[in-house]
Amino acid sequence: MADFSGVFPILATPFRDDESVDEASLRRLVGFMADLGVEGVTVLGVLGEANRMGEREREAIVRAAVDAAGGRVSVIVGVSHPGTRATVELGTMAAELGADALMVAPSAEPVPSEARVAEYFARVCAGVSLPVVLQDHPASTGVHMSVPTIARIVGENPGVDCVKAEAVPSAAKIEALSAALPRRVPMLTGLGALYGQFDLEKGSSGYNTGFAFPEVLQAHLAAWRSGDRALARRIWAHFLPLIVFEQQPGVAVRKEILRRRGLLASGAVRHPGTALGAGSAAQLTEWLEFTMPGVDIRRPIDVAAIVGA
């Protein structure tokens, strides 16, 4: 089983101002994450605006990400699609391009059926060669998977090596899954780290989310694992206002932070999404300064120095 424990940032897909894919920025973003020492990165997730891309663009993004990673970090590829066959084909393409794992979420059907969801994962797992991260994110999929259904999927499909727990209340579901799963499977926190501390307390193995400062998540997880509960809670609480601000609908805030970090050439969001407005951009400036006064965010940040550890 692959080791899905640690910090696995979900990457934004960089676009130029004309909305074309910016591979140079993507490579820079992957390289930055690898330099931080994260365990892996995910491309073509919800944050990656995968639903706004064609197949050729997806292929180019996976190829560029794998090449930029250069084996230093694992590359997880989002391959979710309303069609089961299409999901398998996207997973096969990712494997051929050198990806390490796949992230798969179910799609809403006119007549909801958890049995059909289980069948979807069974067919996908049978048709792909890479480990699967089961994404449980009702907010984007419209699918509510019960604890027994997820336990069934994990039990029937050895290829499911991780659960991305994003169904709120996430901490309670992580706790329930820990008791119900027929085998131990790592569960990673998403949702921009909004419930990160609560999830760690209930058994989360780390993070698979797009918060624009993965150094914070690394420090938070390291403190928790070391047994310094007070430091872990202080780190999370200190950065919580920024985490909350970033959770506003859309990906514009996160892309703007990544642009200010020097990782994206543009904060462009592909239509019908919208970029950050001037008022929100000014508010972001204030909160960045409040959270990290005088810190150059274009460089890896020293979390310990910021929180006074």
Query: What distance in Å separates the CA atoms of residue 246 and residue 212, rounded to the nearest whole number?
Result: 9
Distances (CA, A) of 266 to 29, 60, 112, 256, 258: 12, 19, 39, 8, 9
| pLDDT value for 1 | 44
The residue extents of the domains of the chain are 6-228
Residue 135 β-bridge partners: 164
**136-179 per-position pLDDT tens digit:** 999 999 999 999 999 999 999 999 999 999 999 999 999 999 99
pLDDT tens-digit profile of 7-34? 999 999 999 999 999 999 999 999 999 9
The predicted pLDDT at position 47 comes to: 83
Q: pLDDT of 215-254, one tens digit each?
A: 999 999 999 999 999 999 999 999 999 999 999 988 999 9
- At residue 162, the pLDDT reads 98
Which residue has 């965010």 as its token pair?
297
Residue pLDDT, tens place only, 168-209: 999 999 999 999 999 999 999 999 999 999 999 999 999 999
CATH among 3.30.70.270, 2.30.33.40, 3.40.1010.10, 3.20.20.70 for 6-228: 3.20.20.70
**How many other C-beta atoms can be found within 10 angstroms of the C-beta atom of residue 272?**
6
| Sign of the Cα pseudo-torsion (60, 163, 112, 192, in order) | negative
Q: CB-side exposure of 49: number of CA atoms within 13 Å? A: 26
